Structure 1
């Protein structure tokens, strides 16, 4: 498991990456270590105002650890719905809100084959093939390139099977 001692310097930590990369394991460990509020962002129904939803979450007081956040909409929305419900301006505003909260973004990644193995081990109904996982990881790379122009980003690769599940 990746050490989380580095997290004590932040009040908001956003873990993002492909399903199966290890976000939940890292977020839960971090939230417990910091005694922070853990926010697990689930799939939201159509018509949800994501900008307002995440703005309200970022208005909360105290330390926050996000297990997935608004960046996933910029990856999965176009891939699976053909569009995103957030604009680049929304993303930039929300990124700045995280920064203002003394926050950091953590790009959690792993090799596509390892991600697929983890998804299969947990019994996912939709098991993407290696190529689909690679596309998702590439999209996250693109999104994080944009985020790096506005905020601090740490990349954690959980390439060992026992590091995260």
Structure 2
């Protein structure tokens, strides 16, 4: 399945991925080639209802692509603070709202090696580099769980020609057509890098 075919089936795309993946070129392509309105969700989540800004975005008209961080909160919250500001129940409710808007999550992935080189080039700390493997595993777990409530498209970034990792396309550069996988049923559960008790605080 190519990306053109995949996006033709969805009016809403929630685009997420680990720190270091290249989402900008994909979002630019969705806007230029497919007519999506691209918006970026605020990283500041309300304390009492952290998913409210995301639900409000779903009220916009037309084809919508959101550069999001809700799944990122589920992954990086436990890794960096010991808990997520977004509960799994809230995430499931949002996923179902996405599905009702003819939507899907887009999980942008890259290899751990590519992410390490990109983040190191950006001056990432040793602590940030050490958590990459756990973050990749956490995203896989989160999306396999959310796939029980909404479709998930997985877009794998290809390494740059010559075998070296690409530092990532610029904001206005066109990206090559990435391979896309789609799943809407539960996958085998991937062990979370975060202790079970930490996820539910």
TM range (shorter): 0.7 to 0.9
**Structure 2 Cα separation of the partners of residues 163 and 10 of structure 1:** 29
The equivalent residue for 1:29 is: 29
* Alpha-carbon contact 2:43-2:69 (below 8 Å) kept: no
- Call closer, same or farther: CA 1:102–1:23 in 2, change over 3 Å: same
Moved over 6 A (4+): none
TM-score by length of structure 2 reads 0.71
Structure holding more helix per residue: 1
Q: Distance in 2 between matches of 1:79 and 1:23?
A: 22
What is the TM-score normalised by the length of structure 1? 0.85
| Counterpart mapping for 1:36-115 below 5 A | 36-44=36-44, 47=47, 49-115=49-115
CA deviations 1:13-72 (Å, max 9, x no partner) are: 111110112222212211222222212234326737322111111111111101224211
RMSD value over aligned CA atoms?
A: 2.2
| Contact 2:41–2:69 (8 Å) recurs in 1 | yes
Distance 1:163 1:119, change over 3 A: closer
Q: Counterparts of 2:41 and 2:95 in 1: how far apart (Å)? A: 16
SS class of match (1:107): strand
The total of aligned residue pairs comes to: 161
Distance in 2, matches of 1:65 and 1:163, equals: 23
Which residue of the partner structure matches residue 158 of structure 2? 159
84-93 or 134-143, larger mean C-alpha shift: 84-93
Structure number with greater Rg is 2
Q: Note closer, same or farther for the CA distance 1:16–1:8 as it changes in structure 2 (3 Å cut).
A: same
Which residue is equivalent to 2:19?
Answer: 19
CA distance in 2, matches of 1:163, 1:116: 10
CA distance in 2, matches of 1:34, 1:88: 31
Which ranges of structure 1 fall in alignment gaps of 5 or more residues?
none
Segment drifting more, 51-60 vs 135-144: 51-60
Cα shift at 1:113: 1.3
Conservation of the 8 A alpha-carbon contact between 1:4 and 1:29: no
